[in-house]
Structures are given as C-alpha cells and as structure tokens.
A and B are shown apart, each in its own frame.
Chain A
Amino acid sequence: MRKFFLSFLCAALAFSCTREIPETVSGPVAQTGPAAEADVRGQDVEELGFQPGVALVYVDEATAERIEKGTAVQDLVHDLDVTGAERLFPDAGEWEPRTRREGLHRWYVVNYDRTVTLARAKTVLEAVPGVQLVEPSRIIRRAVSINDTYWSQMWGMNNLDYPGYDVNCKPVWDTYTMGSPNVTVAVVDGGIQMDHPDLRANIASSGHYNYVRGNTNISQHMHGTHVAGTIGAVNNNGIGVTGIAGGNASAGKPGIKLLSLQVFETQDNGYDATASDFNRALKEAADKGAVISQNSWGFNFDFNDNGYLEDNELSYARRAHENPERSFVQAVDYFNKYAGCDNSGRQLSTSPMKGGVVIFAAGNENVPYGAPGNYEGCVSVGAIAQNGSKASFSNYGDWVDICAPGVSVPSTYINSRYVSMSGTSMACPHVSGVAALIVSYFGGQGFTADELRVRLLTGARTIGASSGSRPIGPLVDAWGSFNMNAQGGVPDPVTDVTVSPVGHNLRVDFTASGAYGYMILAARQKSALTNADLQNPSDNLIVVNRLASAAETQGVPLSVTLAGLTPSADYYVAVVAYSYDKKFSALSGIVQTRTAENQKPVIDIQDYPATGFQFRHHEIVSLPVVCSDPDGDAITVSFRTTGRATLESNTGSEGLFNFKLMCPLTNAGRYTATIEAKDEVGAVAIRGILYEVLPNTAPMVTKEIRPVLLEEKGQEMTLSLAEYFSDPDGEELFFKVASMNPDIVESSLTEEGELLVKAVSQGVCKVSISAEDHAGERVDQQLTLLVRLEGTPEVFLSGNTVLSDGAVTLVPGLEEASLEVRIVSASGVVVYSYTGVHSASSPLTLDLSALAPGIYTVEVTYKGETYTYTIVKR
C-alpha cells in the first residue's frame, strides 16, 4: 500500500501538542469554564474502546488529489508526532472506479502520538483545511482465542456449565487488556516455582525474598505456585492454564509481574516452616514496587488440628477477628498508603498506581470470623462453588468484601505440573488477578488505589451467595469493573470553584456535579491547565483526586486541600469531574490565587510548669502535647532526650501527642527533652522540657520473716509480702520468689501479692524473696520452711542413711538450741563429735565423704532429748 506523508497534518498535530491554548479558548480566570475547552471536552468522544494514536480523517476531493499526487509531502515528518497516513480503503483495482465514485478514496488513517488524547487530536485535525470529518478508530472486539491446555476447565474465568459464575474476564481480554508488565503483584505466600514453564515469563526480574530463610533464595511451594498461576500464568502459550492477567504470549504481550515474597517453605519432613514475621513481607511488598498484595493465608485457630473449630478455638478466632493486631494493621496501612509512592507519599513516575490494595483470603473454617484478612484495610475474599453457591468451607459475614471462584480451581503446581485445588486461597488470586487487569488498563499517573478499590467492589455483581445468613459479598466481575458507570455519560463540569490560601496550601471548594471523581488540578503556569492531558497528567501539574461517595450527589459542597505548595507563589487551579470510565467533564473555570508565607508548626505543651518536672524513677509523667501547623501541613514530630521517654501519637486526636517521661534507667539528675515539629516545607518548631529525676531509695525490709513449720504434705501457707517489704519512695515493688529446693517446698506468688508455699516432702527449705523497685535496687529476705511430718522426731535426719558419698543433714526444730552430735562406730568408737547452736533455719549438714566404710550411730541431743540414727557408709 502506498503511503502518503501529509505535511499539513503533521504540522497541525505537532502544533496542537505544543502551543498555548488561546485565551479565547481557555477562557478567563473565572468560575465558569471556557467555551472552547467545553467544546473539546463536550465531544462525545469515548476514549474507551478506541485505538489511541489513530484517527480516521475524511478530506475533500482537492485535498485527496493533492495527497495522491504527493505534492503535499514535506520532510517535516520526522520532526513531528504524526507518524504516517494511508488510505483507509486502498486502491481497489478493478473496483476502484466505484470506490472513488462513493468517495471512499478520501478516507485516510492518520497515525499520531499515542499520548495525545483523542479529543485533542480530533479538534486539531478538524481545524486543518480540507479536513471534513474526523472519527476515532474503534477497537474491534475480537474474541481472544485461548489455546492453553486446560482452558476448558478454567471455570473461574470461563464457566461453561454455569454461565455467569466466573470473574468475567474474557470480554476484558477481548476488548481492553490481558495484563501489563507495568503492574507488579506481590504474592505473599509459599515460594513460586520461578522456572515453571507457564509462569517464568511473568516472574519479576528481582525483588523476590524468602522470609523463612532470610535470603533471596526462593524455594518452590505448591500453594504459592498455585496462587501465582491464577493471577499470572502465561496465556496463549499453548500449555497449561490461563492467568487472569497473564498477558497474551501468542501476540507477544507479556502479563503482569509476579513478585514472590515467600513466607512458607516446605521442609524435608513434609511440614511447612513459616516466617517469623509475615508483617515484614506485607510492608516490604510496597518497598519492592508491588501495588497489589495477594495474601492467601490466615491465622490458625484449629489448635488440635481436628479439622474444625471447637468452642474454645472459635473464641480465639473471634477475639483475633475483633482485635486486629497492631503490627499487622500498620503493615497493611503502610502498603495501602505507600505502594507506588516515594517517601513523601507522591506517586512514582514509574508506578501505575498511587497506593496499594491488600487482598486477603477470608479463611476456610466456615465461621463468621476471618483474622487477619477481615481488617478493613484489606479486601477480604470469600469463595463460591462452580454453581455460584457459597463454598461450604468459606468463612462468611458482612466483613467479606467480595467473592470469587474457589472450588476445584486448576492452576500451576510445583515441579512444572498442574493441579486443581479448593479454598478461599484459590478465590483470593482471582480477585488479585482482576485487580491487576484494572491497574493494567486504567493505571497511570493519578490513578489511585481508592479508584481500584471502588472499581473492584462496585463493579462486582450481586449473586445469591452475596446475601442471606452467611453472606460472602458480590462476585468479582472484571467486565463490570471496567464498565461501571459507563452508561452515565460525560459528567457535567464543575462551575463554582473557589480557592482560599491557607498558609502555603490552598483550600479548594466546589460543588459536586454528581457522584463522580474529581480531579483538582493546580499549576504555576496557566497553560499547564489548559493543555492538560487528563489521562496522563504531566509532572508540572499538581493533581489531587477526590472520589465522591454515593451520597455526594449533585449540589453537595466538596472541599480539597492542595498541600505542599510553594509559599508566596501564584497558582492556577481548576477542577474537572470524571466518571469511573474516565469520561472527563470540561475543565472548570481556572482560578488564579497566591499562596501565603509558610508558617512554622506550633507546639503547645499543656500543663507544663515553668520550672519543669520533678519525679522519681518509678513515676511516669504524661504530658499532652498539641502539635499543629497553621498552614495545615502534615508535620513530623520527633523528640530527643537523654532519659527514657516515648512520644505517643495514637491518642485518637489528630495533632495531639502524649509525651511520656519514664526514667527507670536514668540516673538522678536534671535533664532536658526536646520536642521538634517539622512541616513539609522544612520549617521547624522546637520546645524544650526540663525535668529532674530525683534520687532513688532502695526498698527495705520492714519485718523479718520468721521460720515456719509445715507438718503435712500438701499443706499450704500464704504470706502477705506487703507486711515485710516497703519502699521509702512509695513506689510499687516487683517481687521475685524462688524455692531453693522445690522437691521439699513449692513456692509461687498469688495475684494478691502473697507468697504461697506448699509442702512437698519432709525437709527444710528456704524460699528466697526479692523485692525490687523500678530502678533495679532490691532487698532480699529468706523464709525458712521446715516440713516435718507428724510423728517425726523433733530432730530428723534428712538425706540418705545409706550413702557412698556426700552428706546428711540434721534438721532441728524451729527453736534455736544446742545440738550435740556424736558419730559412733559399730564397735563403740566415737569417731566424731560436735556441739553447736542450730535451728531449722540453720540445720547441720555433715559431710561424710571421708568416713571409713562401716555402720555408725549418729547420736543427736537437742533440747535435752537424744535421738539416734543408724547410717551405713559404703
């Protein structure tokens, strides 16, 4: 086919991409939108469904003749964005006469820069002399032919037996996309088989991490490999299964990228080892570039592993459901906030989405709880069977956000195999896959995680399982998510924009024209607004999206703050409404305003005495601190101190912090703590807090603990330790108790602060009691416990009476008295004699190691009574 390079078209289009829109087109800086811009936006040009960078142009006869003769060809082509034009209906040879007679030879296909919006191209091309009509080139819906081996069994994507109960991704594939490598999905699961022939093309090139081993070596795991296949198995490669966002291999189009963050690993014994901290994987998914976090795991409450939750296990599940763990919540919130963003929370130029979405399996216990995925920061996924009913195992409840196919789902498996598996673990990646499709198509600068979430949940279809006593949410619907609100047409423009400087930020107030999304645009140059490409806003535009809720319909006042602006600078602000299918309204009137000087943050310390604080080690000073910024900037609050302190921000009130001074590890002395508040511009406010840690006084013994006699095994006795110890500073004391011989006496502490002792066997035992204050200073006492069973002589011999080595102990009564001891050989020789004062607190131990073998009599005289014992030394 002959090609014609149309210099006039090239010049026109090139001009359109660089010139300022004339004032008459963009309109004055006012509350009403410019007429010409309204015309452009008012064209019923649907971006969706049309080929970007392609227009069909109908020219008049003279122009067509000039094109055919080549007289319009210029060498401007390479300088311009028009890449070429050719006849839409080529020379028909034998049928050319009638073709020309019908004027079909005057249609040309013009190719231009794909980043130029269709609306703008249409406007500019129509302005070119000789152009009579410009039409976009529709994307022809061709059913994508799937040649993967198990496609007919992939009911989750193509339910042949029960049409409608699948994720409805096929029409999206046919019309929009089969996935984009710009989108990275983190699979927080067992390791993906990286070299699986049906996965390897879609595996991310780097970033994988094994959190079980703490290194980058991913080991294949059946669960993680199966989950990954549903999301991103390579499509149309002639083998295996299909992935919802796996690209189109036969067309040379790669799918999304799978990032394996391994938190399970199969051991040699066949059991799984798990990472010590899943939350780290959740958080680091954002740091590694993922915008979707796929999580088919949950907490285990089946402690006895009998396959179902008993009452006590259910109570644990309920408690975890109702009390999400803080570390988990923070990890999820971090991902949701910072995925695709830089440290300041601004969308990275390379990221398809601002923020992230964490998608979680609801769990397989058929219970109304589902920790941790029930946390509201997650999209919780229930499972349906092939007939659309709730899968028998799926957890349920109003907290389940969405459902997806989860029974007998074929997917990739370890060792390059394929198997079918069931579970909400299998439903969850269906939703992750659809989410990845949405981001693949709609993603770009300005596309937010909120929009993805809205598309995902609002586009889902209500089915029978969505309601009833065990609801599992609507069924994920890819086509629905792509076409939600499509019938709503082009939103009406916003007409009443007012802008108020708040420090160096701008507050933008306007009235909603409907329950749409609103893009608030600001720029230093007015032209940046008038030339704005709303599909792909340029870097010199400040863009804030505000999604209206269903209740925020036409007439509802909305307010948005544009933060982080340059102080004392002129800005141009406008608002544009858009539907979820990215039909943009005309730009509102452009408002010019000027930001004020930045004001540094304000630190207000309440109840702070001018002379500072005095307190002791055990005391905690809790100091409410209000940090605010007059400009409304986000502020970073930090503190420095030589003592031990914390600054808590989770007080429930924005800007209100609780500064706690705790000094158990600080020496007595005077200290200064400094609180620093820094706004986004870098202005810093500093406040100092003086405090003095008073010297600590060690605890003391207030009463000596007397020895105690226990005369029965199992006999218990309690002792209120508060009567025996005190602290001069009045601080609480921490007690520690320990029995020196638990075989004789067991010791413990009751919740009431009492020492509890229990006789176990005959003997004498000391229980050590330590009272310690916050500063770590302590005082000790010992309680002597004599366990002498009823009928036992007042002095008894403790220890083995037949011994090869070691010692025996003579245990007198509680009363301290003279103890006379003689050891007499069998032939009457006194081999040893001893006299000393003893009691149960100081029993006499005789080391008999050196004694010659033989039979001996131990004669003991205590308080006038003589007791004899026979011992054998061997």
Chain B
Amino acid sequence: MKWKMHIVVAALFLPSVALAQETVPANEVFPFLAQPRSVALEGMAGAGSASTSASAAMAAFDNPAMLAFAPAKLDAAISYGRWAPASQNTLSNNLGAGVAVRLGRRFAISAGAVMQLRPQQDFGAAYGVYSPKDLMVGLAASLAFSEHVSLGLNGRYVRQQLMADYAIGTAVFSAMLQYHLKGLNVAAGVANFGSGVKAENGNTAPLPASARLAASYEFQLGSSSLAAALDADYYFARKLGVSVGVQYGFRDMFFARAGYRYASTGAAYPSHLSVGLGAKWKGLGLDVSYLTANRQLGNSLCAGISYRF
C-alpha cells in the first residue's frame, strides 16, 4: 500500500480527548471560625459553650451570652494548640489569648486574639515559599436582662495571609441568647455571620455561619461534680454539626473531659473524638485537650492556662 501524509493544524480536528473533569463544590472560607477556642471546650469536642462554670476568657470567639453569668470578675487565659499535625500541609501552631471583665452584676465584656502560624509552604518556582499565618481579634459583650436571661454579641476581624502578596480578611459576628437556671444553661443564636470573602474570580465564598443551640447541665454529687453538654450547629451551607461532651470534676480542683463531634462531610469543624484534663487551684487553671479519630485532626493537642477571680 502506498501512503501519503498530510500535516494539518489542530483546528481541523474536533477535540475528541475524553478528559474526566470533576467540579469541586463551593465551601466556606475561614472554616476555623467554627472551632472552639477554649481549651476546655476542645476537651469535650466543642460541647459546653453554654456552661457558665467554664472560663469566659475566650468568649469573644465562642458563646458571648455566657459572659453575663460567668461568676469571676476577671477571667484571663492564654493557650497553645498544635493543630492538625498529621501533615505539614495542615499543621498550624495556634496561639490564643483572651480576657473577660465583669462590669457590674449584669454586664461583662471580653476581648481576645488568636494567631495561627503555619509551616513554610512551597508554592512552586513562580511563587516561591511562604509561611502563611492567620490572625483573629475579637470583642464580646453580654448583658443579663434578668437573673436567667442574657444576650451576648461578639465581633471579630479575621485575616489570613496566604502568600506574601495575597491576604484575605473580613468581619465576623455572633449573637446568642442564653437562659441560665442554676446548673442548667441553654443558649441559642447565630454564629459566624458576615459578608464572606470575594475570590479573585469574582465568586463570593461564604463564612461558616450557623444557627447554634447549646445546652449544658451540671450538678454536684458530694465532692464530685458532673456536667453534660451539647452543642449543635446547623450551618447555612446545609451541613450539620453536633458535639456532645461530659466533664467530671473532683473537689472542683481536677477535671476530666470527653466528647464526640459528629459533622456532615465538609462541615467547617469536622467529626472527631476528644478528651481533656483540667486542674484549678486558687483561681489558676490549667487545661489540656487531645483530639483523635480524625485523619487530619488526629493528635491535635491544646493546652491553656487561665486565671480568674
């Protein structure tokens, strides 16, 4: 057979390459907004934000309505967390600090800051290497309208420096209403709402905003105490997260905590198990928590020191 050849430009062909293409769905920006910043709450997988016996120092990031019923005049805390250490790509070293001040019998405020430092990332020859970092600063205020009902608000500014030449930031708010009756606390409201962040392609990425319900009940059994808590979030991105946790206290000096969180796939604060320990002596407290049962969050470890009087 005799063969003849012709070379033609690609335009003469109909593209017939069957490339598999998947579209990654939209997700929430700043997912870490949904994770609790109190070390004690981390020990119960995020449950217990309505509890008034816990430290109120990080209320600017968690439940602001509990501030008004927190017993201490001053509550301050610092924390460190080694978050998601399973991979250098997700690892962050989280530093947190917060303070809550009671101003009168029914009103309290809080302020705090969190910085998340990430290892150096290589973005390729065109972009070089960079160590991303996140910063959150927040304020909270709470007013008790009666002995049983309070309203709390917090506002935060969050900024994420992703690359040397690129950062994103926005303001975030939460509003909670809380009912307090002796050992029972129930809080409800909206958490983490805001305008979101506009990407360079014009799409606006939403915040992990949710409708939140938190409840806890605590009672004494002699020198021991027992507390049970539940925090449930319905994220407006149609995802659900429910955390349950318990705390055992001995002589109000030593505490053991455990919790489990269930979350829908892709929810901002994923499913995991966590355990925690705490100690308190003359207003000075020490808490640690440990996360497991999650491929990314497993082995996350948080520790914090608090002081209140």
Question: When chains A and B are docked, how far (Å) is the Cα of A768 from the Cα of B5?
Answer: 14
Asked if B90 contacts A824 (CB within 8 A), the reply is: yes
A736–B8 CB distance below 8 A: yes
Check if A609 is an interface residue, CB within 8 A of chain B: no
Against A, the Cβ 8 Å flags (1 = close, 0 = not) of B13-24 are 101111111111
A95 interface contact, C-beta 8 A: no
Could you give, for residues 783-826 of chain A, a 1 whenever the CB lies within 8 Å of some chain B CB and a 0 otherwise?
Answer: 00000000000000000111011010100000000000001111
Interface residues of A in 818-874 (CB under 8 A from B): 823-834, 836, 838, 842-855, 857, 868, 870, 872-874
* CB atoms of B205 and A853 under 8 A apart: yes
Residue from B12, B23, B197, B294 in contact with A850 in the complex, judged by beta carbons closer than 8 Å:
B23
User: What is the CA–CA distance of A749 and B3 in the complex, to the nearest angstrom?
Assistant: 11
User: Taking the nearest CB of chain B, how far is it from the CB of A192, in angstroms?
Assistant: 45
Q: Which residues of A contact B84 (CB under 8 A)?
A: 827-828
Given contacts A736-B8, A738-B8, A851-B27, contact A874 B200 (CB under 8 A): yes
On whether the beta carbons of A855 and B118 are closer than 8 Å, the reply is yes
Q: B197 contacts A802, CB within 8 Å?
A: no
| Cα–Cα, bound, A399→B30 (Å) | 89
Chain A, Cβ-Cβ closest to B207: A852
CB distance from B9 to the nearest CB of A (A): 7
Q: Contacts A825-B27, A831-B27 known; A735 to B6 CB distance under 8 Å?
A: yes
Chain A nearest CB, measured from B157 CB (Å): 16
Question: Is B7 an interface residue when CB atoms closer than 8 A count as contact?
Answer: yes
Q: In the complex the two chains form, what is the Cα distance from A851 to B15 in whole Å? A: 27
In the complex, what's the smallest C-beta–C-beta distance from B295 to chain A, in angstroms?
8
Closest-CB distance, B17 to chain A (whole angstroms)? 4
* Closest A residue by C-beta to B200: A804
Residue from A735, A838, A852 within 8 A of B26 (CB atoms) = A852
Task: Specify which of B5, B23, B270 lies most central, judged by the most chain A CB atoms within 10 Å of its CB.
Answer: B5
Most buried by B among A722, A809, A851: A851
Tally A residues with Cβ within 8 Å of B: 67
User: For residue B269, which residues in chain A have a CB less than 8 angstroms away from its CB?
Assistant: 829
Contacts of B201 in A (CB 8 A): 804-805, 849
Given A736-B8, A802-B163, decide whether A827 and B31 contact each other with a Cβ distance below 8 A: yes
Determine if A872 and B20 form an interchain contact, defined as CB atoms under 8 angstroms apart.
Answer: no
Partner of A825 from B16, B31, B163 at Cβ < 8 Å: B31
* Chain A interface SS verdict (over half): strand
In contact, B266 and A753 (Cβ under 8 angstroms): no
Q: Give the contacting residue for B35; candidates A733, A805, A824, A827; CB below 8 A.
A: A827
Q: Contacts A740-B10, A801-B124: A847 and B22 contacting too (C-beta < 8 A)?
A: yes
Instruction: Give Cα A699–Cα B22 distance, bound, in whole angstroms.
Output: 35
A797 and chain B: residue at smallest CB distance: B124
Q: How far is the CB of A817 from chain B (nearest CB, A)?
A: 14
A826 with B163: CB separation less than 8 A: no
Q: Are B123 and A831 in contact (CB under 8 A)?
A: no
What 1/0 mask marks residues of chain B from 234 to 270 whose CB sits below 8 Å from any chain A CB?
0000000000000000000000000000000111111
Decide if A79 is an interface residue (CB 8 Å cutoff): no
Indicate if the CB atoms of A730 and B13 lie closer than 8 Å: no
Interface contact B160-A854, CB-CB below 8 Å? yes
A782/B23 in contact, CB under 8 A: no
Contact A829 B268 (CB under 8 A): yes
Asked if B145 is at the interface (CB within 8 A of a chain A CB), the reply is no
Minimum CB–CB distance from A806 to chain B (whole Å) comes to 8
In the complex, how many angstroms separate the beta carbon of A743 from the nearest chain B beta carbon?
11
Given contacts A853-B199, A854-B162, contact A831 B29 (CB under 8 A): no
Are A847 and B13 within 8 A (Cβ)?
Answer: no
Among B14-52, those with CB < 8 Å from A are 15-32, 35
Contact of A740 among B1, B15, B87, B205 (CB under 8 A): B15
Residues on B with C-beta less than 8 A from A726 are 1
A852 touches B7 (CB 8 A): no
A853 & B168 in contact (Cβ 8 Å cutoff) = yes
Using CB atoms, name the residue of chain A closest to B272: A828
Task: Check B24 against A848 for contact (C-beta < 8 Å).
Answer: yes
> Given the complex, which residues of B lie within 8 Å of A804, measured CB to CB?
199-201
Which residues in A have their C-beta under 8 angstroms from that of B267? 829
B281 within 8 A of A: no
Interface membership of chain A positions 709-738, coded 1 if the CB is closer than 8 angstroms to chain B and 0 otherwise: 000000000000110001100111111111
CB nearest to A730 among chain B residues = B1
The answer to whether B7 and A748 touch across the interface, beta carbons within 8 angstroms, is yes
State A838–B21 Cα separation when bound (angstroms).
Answer: 11
Residue in B5, B127, B160 whose CB lies within 8 Å of A735: B5
Could you say which interface size class chain B belongs to? 35 or more
- Distance in Å: Cβ of A826 to nearest Cβ of chain B: 6
Which residue of the partner chain B has the closest CB to A737?
A: B7
Pair A736/B12 contact, Cβ less than 8 Å: yes
| Contact in complex: B199, A732 (CB < 8 Å) | no
B69 located at the interface, meaning its Cβ lies under 8 Å from any Cβ of chain A in the complex: no
Residue on B nearest A770 in the bound complex, by CB: B13
- Contacts known (A855-B121, A857-B90); A768 close to B16, Cβ less than 8 A: yes
* Known A736-B8, A740-B10, A829-B270; contact A850-B26, beta-carbon cutoff 8 A: yes
Is the C-beta of B221 less than 8 angstroms from some C-beta in chain A?
no
Contacts of B124 in A (CB 8 A): 800-802
Contact of B6 among A727, A734, A740 (CB under 8 A): A734
Q: A678 interface residue, CB < 8 Å from B?
A: no
Contact of B5 among A751, A832, A834 (CB under 8 A): A751
Is the CB of A739 closer than 8 A to any CB of chain B?
A: yes
Residues on B with C-beta less than 8 A from A833 are: 265
* Contact assessment for A844 and B200 in the assembled complex, using a CB-CB cutoff below 8 Å: no
B203 within 8 A of A: yes
In the bound complex, do residue A826 and residue B200 qualify as a contact, i.e. CB atoms below 8 Å apart?
no
Q: Which of B138-152 contact A (CB under 8 A)?
A: none
B162 contacts A874, CB within 8 Å?
Answer: yes
Q: Do A852 and B29 touch (CB < 8 A)?
A: yes
* Chain A: minimal CB distance from B92 (Å): 7
Given A735-B4, A847-B24, A870–B19 Cβ distance below 8 Å? no
Interfacial residues, chain A to chain B (CB-CB below 8 A): 721-722, 726-727, 730-740, 742, 748-751, 753, 766, 768, 770, 780, 782, 800-802, 804-805, 807, 809, 823-834, 836, 838, 842-855, 857, 868, 870, 872-874
- Listed by A's residue number, 26 A-B pairs whose Cβ atoms lie within 8 Å are A748-B7, A780-B16, A800-B124, A801-B127, A809-B19, A823-B24, A825-B27, A826-B89, A827-B268, A828-B83, A830-B265, A833-B265, A844-B22, A845-B21, A846-B21, A849-B203, A850-B24, A850-B26, A850-B27, A851-B27, A852-B29, A852-B197, A852-B199, A853-B162, A855-B132, A874-B166
